[in-house]
Structures are given as structure tokens and as C-alpha cells.
Structure 1
Amino acid sequence: MQNKLIIAEPDETLDTISKPPVSILQKKKGYRFSLDPVLLVDFYISTGFKAHEIIDLGTGSGIIPILLCSKKKEIIIKGIELQKSLAKMAERNVILNGMEKQIEIKNCDLKKVKKYFLTESCQAVITNPPFREPSSGRLNEDIEKAIARHEISCNISDVLTAAFFLVKPGGSLFLIYDPRRLSFLIEKMRAWRFEPKIMRFVHSNITSEATMVMISAKKMGNTGVKILKPLFVYEKEKVYTKEIREIYGMC
């Protein structure tokens, strides 16, 4: 149920997505969530993984915890966010959606999780990490966007270090990443004892190369991976496929 005491400021938008619907405050200019976290939540649910306690590394505006809790009432999620402005936005979004009993936002550095969390304190970590190297492409002048998209404040090794510390043995890591760096990612995952178990590639359309890959990896798991059917975003220019419309709650 939406908390009507939380309202959008003049420089913000109030967006409603998904089924059941959730409301998300975002800056008109600055960091705004993309399709990636929405797809990642759907991927998590599709795997059938059951976790009671989850930690979201780099929660941004809180989109992943809020979407997950709208669909899984039994879970408790802690969202870690380095940027104070985004952490405050995430806290407002949690209150806006009446999810204070399920979601806690922590404004802290994921590289310092040992200071704020006990080891092996959750069954799953979920994350939409920055995956662009600082030297890859032009850095966005907006610092919120730059930190969210480029490995400025943390890199994949930092994310995996935090995940290994937080996840119980047999638990899982869920993330979305650039498929061009897949071999690099798997090498790093295995260095931190995370074995890829389920993968799904995301394509803009049926003729394009993969633009993203979603991965479920088991901590201290055995080898053997299942590749799901590809996910296509558009059926024609600017028209979402039926699956994407369903994920977004458009039909």
C-alpha cells in the first residue's frame, strides 16, 4: 500500500511498474534505474531459488528489494548503497511502498561489509554491479550515473569478495553483467568459489548479439551450468516483446 505522506519533489518523478504494482521515486536528472534490475528480479524468481535473507549490493533507488518484496512476502532484504543521496532515495521508496518490515537500507561501502554484517549472514546476494571499466567509453559527468555504471568505487572483485563473505555455503549469487566480459567474470567467480549454475542471455532483438547475461552461481557448488532460452527485449523497433511486457506488468 502506497504511503501518501511520501511525495515526489519538483526534481523527481514517481513511476509505477510491475504486477503487483510498486512505486519508485527517481530524479528527473541523475541516476535512474534501467531495464537490468527489473530483468534480474524476474530471473531470480524464475530460478525457483528459495531464500529468506537476501542482501542487495549497490541497491541504488531500492528497485531490486522493492520488486522482490512485492512478489515474495516471506523474504527480508538489506540493500547496501554507497552514495548517500541514493540511499536516502531508497529509504523513501521503501516507506512509500510500506515495506519497512521487509527492507533495510544501509548507506555503506560494500568493500567494508565486515564492519556492518556477520559472515555468512544470508542465503543469497543479488547485484546489478557496475561493469564498465573506467577507461571504457566516456565517463558520465553526473557522478551518480558514473559510479553506478563504471568501476570507479568498486569492481567485480570487490563485489565477489563481499558476496563470498556474506553468503552461506550452498547459497547463491545472482547478477547481471556484460557478456563481452563473461570469461573474465567466470574466472573471477571461480576464484571466489562461486560456480555458475544457471545463465540467461539478453538480446535487444532476435538478430542482435547478447547485450547482457544473467547468472546464478552457487557458493562452493559443483561444475555444470544450465543455459536458459534467450530473452529478447524488442519484437520490432520500440515495441517490447510479450515476455518483456509481462515482466514490466504491462499485460
Structure 2
Amino acid sequence: MVETTADSLLGGRVRLLQPAKGHRAGTDAVLLAAAAPVKPGDVVVDAGAATGAVGLMVAARERAAHLVFVERDPVLAELCRRNGNLNQVNAHVAVADLLDRSSWPDAGVFPERADLVLTNPPFLEEGRARISPDTRRAAAHALPEGGLEAWMKACIGLLKPKGRLVVIHRADRTADCLSALGKGLGGVELRFVHPSADQPAIRVLLSAVKGSRAPLSVLSPVILNGADGRFTPHAEALHRGEVTLP
């Protein structure tokens, strides 16, 4: 078994076992969960769930949602199951490769069932960045060449008509994310995340609705840190789970 640490999110409302080394949940997961417009009874898929941080934070806000975690790494999937039990969240954990649809049915993953799909895709692609030699870290951070489009299309395939996709990615990949949506989604909303008010955006939160024809809009940005280098009051409240990103 991998060495783990016991951590918490949202001011202690979510307990999280996660690997001591490699990819660990942080601000990206908090922002993605805060941007999820979840309603009672929604089927919510956390795609590429790792240890389940995003879905668990959504469940902490809306207990009546039906959570599905999709993770291809069996070790991380097992930690996700344990985290569900720790947080008393009744969810389905599917050990399946998002990019290999043939692995979906046996894992209990079916297309066009989700009201909401949340995803933090691996940020790197082979051939475009230096990939870690650590297998688990590389799997969490890197996709095969052209993999972002395949990842996004897989997520779209999970959505029912009028379902919503919410993604967090690097701000410099915004054009790639928009291109990967294709023509099947509309009502696109972009919200950029800046480390401070005077610095360029480092992340983008993208939301879109399957089958919508509404125009694109750009929402107010998130500023993480003030002039003193500490979280802004808004960022602090997001990390405590006191506010969301509507």
C-alpha cells in the first residue's frame, strides 16, 4: 500500500486520506467543487477522481446528490472508497479509464446519465512537456498526445442532454479547452483565477451545458492572494466552504 496522510478540507468538514507523495488535493479541487451548481437528486460524476476530494466537497454541500467517482488507478480508487466511508457519503466508485470507453460498463459507468460532470484533467501532454518518471505522478499529471480533447469528449459523453460540464485547467490552455468542447455544448462560462490582482491568470474554470445555444460569457475573476501574500477574504471563505462560485 502507498503511504498516506490524513488531511481535511473545507475547514474540517471533509476528511481525506491521500498519498503522502505525488498529486495531492489543494486549491484547484476547492475551486472546482465551489463552481459546481449541484441540486438535490443530481447525478454527479467526479471524472478522474483520484482520492475523491472534489466529489466529497460537493457531497458536503449537497447530501442529496448521487455521486459517481471515476478513477483508473486501483490504489487511488480504494482510497476514494475509504474516504467515502470516512465522510459517510454513499457513492459509487468506478475503477475505469475515462479514455477507454470499453472499460466503462463493467465498472458501472454509463453514457448520458449525469446531470453534472466535474473534472480536473491532467494538465500536461506527452510531447509538450517533461513528464515525471514516477508512474503514479505521471498518470495524474499527464495525458497522451492529443489527450485533452479525448478527455473532454469522454466527459461530454457522460452528460445527459442539458447536463453541465465544469472543468478547471491552466489558463494558458483555455483555447484548447474551448476547442475540445466541439459544437455540442453552449452557454459557456469562463472564470479566471489570478494569484493576485496584478498578476496574469493561472487557472480557468470553464462551465458549459450540453445542447445549449446560449452565448459565451466571462464571469468575475477569483483573486487568491492580497498584497500581503495571504489568501483574500473571498479565497479564505472558499477554502472553508462558506461561499461558492455561482
TM-score (norm 1): 0.86
Greater shift, 237-246 or 63-72, is seen at: 237-246
State the one-letter code of the partner of 1:111: L
Q: Does 1:241 align with 2:232?
A: yes
- State the match for 1:93 in structure 2: 83
- Post-superposition offset of 1:78: 0.5
Change (3 A) 1:248 1:212: same
1:59 and 2:49 matched: yes
Give, in angstroms, the shift of residue 160 of structure 1. 2.4
Secondary structure of the residue that 2:123 maps to in structure 1?
Answer: coil
2:137 matched to 1:149?
Answer: no
User: Does the CA contact (< 8 Å) of 2:40 and 2:63 recur in 1?
Assistant: no
Q: Structure 2 vs 1, CA of residues 67 and 250 (structure 1 numbering), >3 Å: closer, same or farther?
A: closer
Mark the CA change 1:86 to 1:10 in structure 2 (over 3 Å): closer, same or farther.
closer
**What SS class does the counterpart of residue 99 from structure 2 fall into?**
helix
- Structure 1: gaps of 5 or more residues: 1-8
Distance 1:109 1:174 in 2: 19
Match of 1:36 among 28, 39, 50: 28
Partner of 1:204: 195
Q: CA deviation at 1:250?
A: 8.3
The 1-side partners of 2:11 and 2:143 are apart by: 32
1:110 aligns with 98
Report deviation, 1:118: 3.1
Deviates more, 1:14-23 or 1:154-163: 154-163
1:186–1:196 contact (8 Å) kept in structure 2: no
Name the aligned partner's letter for residue 72 of structure 1: E
C-alpha distance in structure 1 between counterparts of 2:79 and 2:133, whole Å: 20
1:59-113 deviations in whole A, cap 9, x for unaligned? Answer: 01100111000001110010100111111111111111111x2x21111111234
1:129 corresponds in structure 2 to 121
Q: Distance in 1 between matches of 2:23 and 2:141?
A: 10
- Give per-residue Cα distances to partners, 1:160-218, cap 9 Å, x unaligned: 22223221111111101122121222122024x12252211000101111101001101
Show the 5 A alignment for 1:151-230: 151-152=143-144, 155-191=147-183, 193-230=184-221
Contact 1:131–1:155 (CA under 8 A) maintained in structure 2: no
Partner SS, residue 55 of structure 1: strand
Aligned to 1:3: none
RMSD, matched Cα: 2.3
Residue aligned with 1:26, SS: strand
| 1:158, distance to aligned residue in structure 2 (A) | 2.0
Task: State the SS of the aligned residue for 1:204.
Answer: strand
**SS of match in other structure, 1:210:** coil
Letter in 2 for 1:110: L
Identity %: 24
